Amino acid sequence: MNKLTIAAVLAMTGLVACDNGKDTAESGAATTGGTTTGGTTTGTTTGGGAPTASVTWGGASVDVAVAGGPGAYWFGMAETTGCDDCWTGEDCVYGYDASGTTLAYCHDGGDTGTSLAYGGDAGALAAGTTVFVDASFDGAVTYYLESDTDFGGDGSCYVWGADNSYYDGLGCTAL
């Protein structure tokens, strides 16, 4: 998504950044994995209790499915390819710089995943929505899962999708 588009939306609405309260030092990543087939991006791994995860870009929402692994999850996604100024405000780790204001959000993925309706408000993203406006972003996004220590998880994190190097240095497992 274009930074100018986000900045224009923020300027028109007077919105401020949202903070999900997540400590970015808790998150992490790796450098390989994930495939996209027919609108569904899937990351898988074997052994070690890691989850299986998939993302489907549908007509009205992005649907995330998670199976197995160590508990409930936080879910993030960042536009990482095919853009000059990529939308990263839902990445769970770094956020998005909108003219000096950091927009940062991490979705509650629950135990089995979540559904995020298109067209959420960048400055005040509500639960169950995403700023992405349609399925055209499929294939340009990198995904992040973090096992929630408050709900039976062990704090481990997983990445897959378009460019896992976005999360390099955080120590996550590639799916």
Average pLDDT over residues 145-159: 94
pLDDT score, position 71: 81
Kindly report the average pLDDT of the chain as a whole number.
79
pLDDT in tens, 67-95: 998 889 999 999 999 999 999 999 999 99
Look at the chain and report how many structural domains it folds into.
1
Higher-pLDDT residue of 131 and 3 is: 131
- Torsion over CA: 25, 27, 33, 37 (sign): negative
SS3 category, 122: helix
Q: Are 158 and 144 in contact (CB under 8 A)?
A: yes
pLDDT score, position 41: 52
Q: What is the domain range of residue 59?
A: 3-174
pLDDT score, position 12: 34
At 74, phi and psi to the nearest 5?
Answer: -100, 145
pTM beyond cutoff 0.85: no
pLDDT score, position 76: 98
Asked whether residue 35 carries a pLDDT value surpassing 70, the answer given is no
Whole-number Cα distances in Å, 174 to 11, 86, 141, 156, 165: 37, 21, 14, 11, 10
Comparing 19-33, 34-48, 93-107, 140-154, the range with the smallest average pLDDT is: 19-33
Average pLDDT over residues 98-109: 96
pLDDT score, position 74: 97
- CA–CA gap between residue 151 and residue 167 (Å, rounded): 24
